[in-house]
Amino acid sequence: MMAPEATAEDVAAVVKTVEAAGGEAFVSRGVHRTIVGLVGDVEQFETLNLTALRGVNDVVRISVPYKLVSREHHPQMSTVQVDGVPIGPGHFTLIAGPCAVETPEQTVAAARMAKQAGAALLRGGAFKPRTSPYAFQGLGKRGLEILAEAKADTGLPIVTEVVDAQDVPLVSEYADMLQIGTRNMQNFALLQAAGGSGKPVMLKRGMNATIEEWLMAAEYIAQRGNLDIVLCERGIRTFETSYRNTLDITAVPLVHSLSHLPVIVDPSHAGGRRELVVPLARAAIAAGADAVMVDLHPEPGSALCDGPQALVDVDLAALATAVRELPPLLERQLTTR
**Which residues contact ligand PEP (rule: CB under 6 A)?**
99, 125, 129, 161, 181-182, 204, 234, 266, 269
The smaller minimum CB distance to ligand PEP, of residues 151 and 234, is found at 234
| Residue 204 binding: pick among ligand PEP, Mn ion, none (C-beta 5-8 Å cut-off by kind) | ligand PEP
Residue nearest to ligand PEP (CB): 181
Q: How far is the CB of 3 from ligand PEP (least distance, A)?
A: 38
The smaller minimum CB distance to ligand PEP, of residues 99 and 227, is found at 99
What residues pair up with 35 in beta bridges, in sequence order?
28
Angle in degrees, CA 23, 24, 25, rounded to 5: 125
Q: How far is the CB of 130 from ligand PEP (least distance, A)?
A: 8
The smaller minimum CB distance to ligand PEP, of residues 36 and 221, is found at 221
Q: How far is the CB of 137 from ligand PEP (least distance, A)?
A: 12
Q: How far is the CB of 225 from ligand PEP (least distance, A)?
A: 24
Alpha-carbon radius of gyration of the chain = 20
| Residue 234 binding: pick among Mn ion, ligand PEP, none (C-beta 5-8 Å cut-off by kind) | ligand PEP
The smaller minimum CB distance to ligand PEP, of residues 99 and 156, is found at 99
Residues found near Mn ion in the complex (CB under 5 A): 99, 306
The smaller minimum CB distance to Mn ion, of residues 118 and 124, is found at 124
Q: How far is the CB of 117 from Mn ion (least distance, A)?
A: 18
Q: State how beta strands 80-82 and 34-39 pair.
A: unpaired
